[in-house]
Structure 1
Amino acid sequence: MRSARPIKTQRRHSLPGDASQWQRLGLRRASQQARQSIVGSGWSALDRLLPGGGYPAHAVTEFLVETAGTGEFSLLLTCLGQRLSAHPDSRIGLVAPPRPLNAPALAAQGLDIRRLPLIAGGDDGECVWAIEQMAHSGGFAGFVFWSDGLTNTALRKLQLAAENAACPIFVYRDLACVGQRSPAALRLAITRGDRGQRIEVRKCRGPAGARLDGLQPGRDRPWIFMPESSPATRGFETHAEACNDDGTVARPAFPPLAPR
């Protein structure tokens, strides 16, 4: 009499060791993709392009910009406003912008400039350390950081800070950095096309390679801050000449920035 063969049970593979250690290297289970929290970009066409329907809420998003000053910051304004509304007791740190920003233009977009502190550091290391400390404080709903010289280690520190603080960190870098390795959860290349901005997903937690052509931010002007002696919320009419006819966009205050 033949003996029945034992039924083989399917082995369940798991990440060896602490899963958080693997996550630091950018390795995650495919099943985790559906559970990733997202932040809407404010652009329905862009949300349809992004995995999950928006920016990752607890991770680093890189914007790799071909030419600075052509609307890349305007892509974030609605998203930042939504973060401030959803977290009324928090702030969003603007770290090391390459040029001054225009407070009246930000206020005209519905952003409370009192909750947008500017942070300047001596170098990238100091800025990353400052973001880590502020994220640990729990008083921030996100950060925007401008830097082209970040190392892979520095980006990994930012990624861990975003995960631990459960807030997004947006990093603007030059398009020349696209060939460098990065632990960021999402990398978007922003170039100029005949019909407007071209946004290409270069890396994401999910299928990459999607592309969007012709996105017209409308608010594609560099901005400057008014002197500290004249707060943006006071005497706004005096500086009305700095805005377009619809009152939402500042005119260029300096030539478009060249890649650094």
Structure 2
Amino acid sequence: MLSPHLPTPSPRLRALNTQALLAQHSGLWRAAHLGHSTQPCWPSGFAALDAELPGGGWPTQALSELLQAQPGEAELRLLAPALAASSGGSGSKPLLLINPPHEPHALPGLGERELLWLQPSSVAQALWSAEQALASNAVVVVAWLERADAAQLRRLQAAAQHCSSPAFVLRPLGCAAQSSPAPLRLSLACAGPGMLQLQLLKRRGPPCAQPLWLQAWPGALQQQLSPRQQGAATAPPPTPAPLAQPRVDARRAHASAAR
């Protein structure tokens, strides 16, 4: 109970005090604003996507969950720029693919990063492999998990908190209605030969109602097309011109109405 001798703080003063408290703690964020990651992020290679991701890129020490209807169609096209930009250095980690939908061969666009491949014989083995790989912090993990419940994903999220690189889990699009501990969730679809459509389903910040359209060619095809050809192929179709309206003589229309 407030003392009768002390004045009650005004609403404006309470708001100022709240803002000061928020400014003192960088880990706090308001849901109406895009969050700021306290950990380093990897630029995705797409300026439009980085502008919508907290921290300006793929988060480290956390899971990023990609959902799509058809696995193996577009995920590596989305991830290749970030993986290529971080490869080749002395601290570069191998890329570990766990249970990919297709047998990986040469993967154009991924730079000089060493590629490892695991094909577990069961869902339990795939989850165990992903958890151990994340906890080791020795590889960049991209894991395709057809089935995983919330408890299993929480174990992966806990293991990913030790990673100095992003960690990606790919699941069916039907899992979008299920809860997930991953701080970042996106749906991904191929929208043409050189275009990807992304929808941000979960992030530290306000909802993103509009989908993102990203130009992302398959690596082998991109090497064969000139920048002009790439731009022409991904350009949206021209908007048709409106049909010309017939001209009506006002005097003739008035005479017809009088009859």
TM-score range, shorter chain: 0.5 to 0.7
Question: In structure 2, what is the Cα distance between the partners aligned to 1:180 and 1:96?
Answer: 22
Question: In structure 2, what is the Cα distance between the partners aligned to 1:91 and 1:196?
Answer: 27
How many Å apart are 1:172 and its aligned residue?
Answer: 1.3
Q: 1:45 to 1:130 in 2, by over 3 A?
A: same
> Which runs of 4 or more aligned residues in structure 1 lie more than 6 Å from their structure 2 counterparts after TM superposition?
none
Partner SS, residue 129 of structure 1: helix
- Structure 2 alignment gaps of length 5 or more: 19-26, 226-259
Query: Which residue matches 2:5?
Result: 4
Paired amino acid for 2:173:
L
CA RMSD of aligned residues (A): 3.2
CA offsets 1:153-180 (integer angstroms, 9 cap, x no match): 1211111111023332111111111111
Check if 1:63 corresponds to 2:66.
yes
Q: Which region of structure 1 is more displaced relative to structure 2, 159-168 or 144-153?
A: 159-168
Aligned residues: 205
Question: In structure 1, what is the Cα distance between the partners aligned to 2:222 and 2:158?
Answer: 43
Query: Which residue matches 1:73?
Result: 76
CA offsets 1:170-199 (integer angstroms, 9 cap, x no match): 111111111111001111011344793221
Percent identity of equivalent pairs: 29
Which of these residues, 135, 151, 154, is aligned with residue 153 of structure 1?
151
Q: 1:7 to 1:180 in 2, by over 3 A?
A: same
Partner SS, residue 151 of structure 2: helix
* Contact 2:195/2:217, CA 8 A, preserved across alignment: no
Query: Which residue matches 2:208?
Result: 209
How many Å apart are 1:119 and its aligned residue?
Answer: 1.5
Within a 5 Å distance, the mapping from 1:100-115 to structure 2 comes to 100-103=103-106, 106=107, 108-112=108-112, 115=114
Within a 5 Å distance, the mapping from 1:1-260 to structure 2 comes to 4-5=5-6, 29-30=28-29, 33-34=35-36, 35-85=38-88, 88-103=91-106, 106=107, 108-112=108-112, 115-140=114-139, 142-193=140-191, 196-219=195-218, 243-244=220-221, 246=223
The TM-score normalised by the length of structure 1 is: 0.67
User: Over alpha carbons, which structure has the higher Rg?
Assistant: 2
Partner SS, residue 73 of structure 2: coil
* Contact 1:148/1:177, CA 8 A, preserved across alignment: no
* Contact 2:72/2:102, CA 8 A, preserved across alignment: no
How many Å apart are 1:128 and its aligned residue?
Answer: 2.2
CA offsets 1:85-139 (integer angstroms, 9 cap, x no match): 4563522211110111221xx2x425335x2211221222222222222333332
* Contact 2:134/2:156, CA 8 A, preserved across alignment: no
Q: 1:99 to 1:48 in 2, by over 3 A?
A: same
* Contact 2:64/2:166, CA 8 A, preserved across alignment: yes
Question: In structure 1, what is the Cα distance between the partners aligned to 2:212 and 2:57?
Answer: 17
The TM-score normalised by the length of structure 2 is: 0.67
Q: 1:73 to 1:181 in 2, by over 3 A?
A: same
Higher relative contact order (CA 8 A, sep 6+): 1
Paired amino acid for 1:4:
H
Question: In structure 2, what is the Cα distance between the partners aligned to 1:147 and 1:210?
Answer: 27
Question: In structure 1, what is the Cα distance between the partners aligned to 2:146 and 2:116?
Answer: 21
Question: In structure 1, what is the Cα distance between the partners aligned to 2:161 and 2:222?
Answer: 41
Paired amino acid for 1:246:
Q
Q: 1:52 to 1:211 in 2, by over 3 A?
A: farther
CA offsets 1:43-93 (integer angstroms, 9 cap, x no match): 112112223211111111111113334322210011112333456352221
- Structure 1 alignment gaps of length 5 or more: 13-27, 221-242, 249-260
